[in-house]
Structure 1
Amino acid sequence: MRVGILALQGAFIEHEKIIQNLGAEVVEIRQLKDLDGIDGLILPGGESTVQGKLLRQLNLLKPIQQLINEGLPVLATCAGLILLAKTIDGEESAHLGTLPIVIKRNAYGRQLASFTSDIDIKPVGSYPAVFIRAPYIESVNDDVDILGVVNDHIVAVQYHNQLGFSFHPELTNDPRIHEYFLSLIKNNHHN
């Protein structure tokens, strides 16, 4: 099983370690040919604006969009979730735009820049979620499954093959979200 991790900018190393510990192969995605033969994709945290710009410059945006629309399982965290969102609050254009949600960037403001909260995540149960300058999801389409909420804000969703989290599961010692992602990839292979 080969998992591609977008490695243009941001916190991708932590994701790599977890995926490798769970026994899957990791491919760092930096150019078009890196997408060949991947079974799943992780869009890590970082700066969504920078990542979006680099995706366009490297001609990765459309191919990734196409793979996701064709059913490639994707796990997006923090900035990665902003890349997936169809609508970014206060901005005219989206990046990949494959996930039918409205997202608000840096939603918690400076005073709540970083916090940890035990939240109930549908597929895994209670989870120690680490938020760092996190976005939150303002609204979702009817067919998007809400997996987790904190302070009345949606912070975790699933839409078919797309998993999106406002927080950083790669910064905990808890691999269950990544395990769930790998189970999506396995199920995808059986289709």
Structure 2
Amino acid sequence: MTAARPRIGVLALQGDVREHLTALRSVGADAIPVRRESELADLDGLVIPGGESTTIVKLAQHFDLLEPLRKRISDGLPTYGSCAGMILLADRIVGGAVDQETFGGIDMTVRRNAFGRQIESFEEPVNVEGVAGGPVTAVFIRAPWVEDVGGGAEVLARVTSGPAAGRVVGIRQGHLLATSFHPELTGDARVHGYFVDMVRNVLGKSAEVPTTKSEDSAVTARTGR
């Protein structure tokens, strides 16, 4: 797939799969649902949607996806997780189930269900560093927040008002992006656009890798030039 239209999968085990597919397509990605290991091979990026983090892990185990997902993420596949997806990209969890597993990758500690129960869901404008055009409407549904950020991770967004003011709700570490909130539910695809640009940047760097001297010699031998 070209950098202009990268191929991005949405993990389709549970959660807001259709909404993420729609948002990704609106910002120029070739978006597909992913349920099998074979579908991971040709991806340029991956989205892990909201849902229930322990259920997603159990389903990933059932479909023999847990270790393949961990490997592709650790090998550098650009990945974005929203809400439960943030939990699954965390290296550490508090408030989770006993022995809860994650895919990992971001050096952070996430508190599961930090904002409370379903009936305590809310919306709030949040500034996301790197996302132009003013605040995004952040939808928080049984959302986590980041309690501790490791040295390799960069904070992109915080809650700005109320009792949770200052809490980290957007974070990036290299090729990995995570938000506590659900941008796919608002019709505003700017966060998805930010992620697609991350993917394009990785693809662009891959395309720019220069040939080695031995490769140049091989081309000369084949072509005579």
TM-score for the superposition, normalised by structure 1:
0.95
Identity %: 40
> Aligned to 2:42, what secondary structure does the other structure show?
coil
Is the 8 Å Cα contact of residues 86 and 94 (structure 1) preserved in structure 2? no
Aligned to 1:131: 140
Give the number of the structure whose alpha-carbon radius of gyration is greater.
2
In structure 1, the partner of 2:106 is 99
CA distance in 2, matches of 1:32, 1:113: 36
1:31 lines up with 2:36 in the alignment: yes
CA contact (8 A) 2:9 2:43 kept: yes
The within-5 A match list for 1:67-86 is 67-86=72-91
1:176-191 aligned within 5 A: 176-191=190-205
Conserved in 2, the CA contact under 8 Å of 1:137 and 1:155?
yes
User: Does residue 122 of structure 1 match 2:136?
Assistant: no
Which AA in structure 1 matches 2:13?
L
1:67-126 alpha-carbon deviations (Å, 9 max, x no partner): 111111111000111111111104444311211111111111238721111111101141
1:152 to 150, 162, 166: 166
Residue 113 of structure 1 is matched in structure 2 by 120
Measure, in 1, the Cα distance between the counterparts of 2:23 and 2:87.
Answer: 22
Retained in 1: the 8 A contact 2:9–2:33?
yes
Distance 1:52 1:100 in 2: 19
Q: In the alignment, what sits opposite 1:87?
A: 92
2: distance between equivalents of 1:133 and 1:189?
34
Quote the offset at 1:47 in angstroms: 0.7
Distance in 1 separating the partners of 2:145 and 2:95: 13
Q: How many residues align?
A: 191
Q: Return the alpha-carbon distance in structure 2 between the equivalents of residues 110 and 175 of structure 1.
A: 26
CA distance in 1, matches of 2:118, 2:66: 33
Match of 1:170 in 2: 184
Distance in 2 separating the partners of 1:185 and 1:90: 32
1:176 and 1:97 map into 2 onto residues whose CA distance is 25
Task: Structure 2: state its 5+ residue gaps.
Answer: 1-5, 160-164, 206-225
Which position in structure 1 is the counterpart of 2:50? 45
Contact 1:27 1:34 in 2 (8 A): no
Gaps of 5+ in 1: none
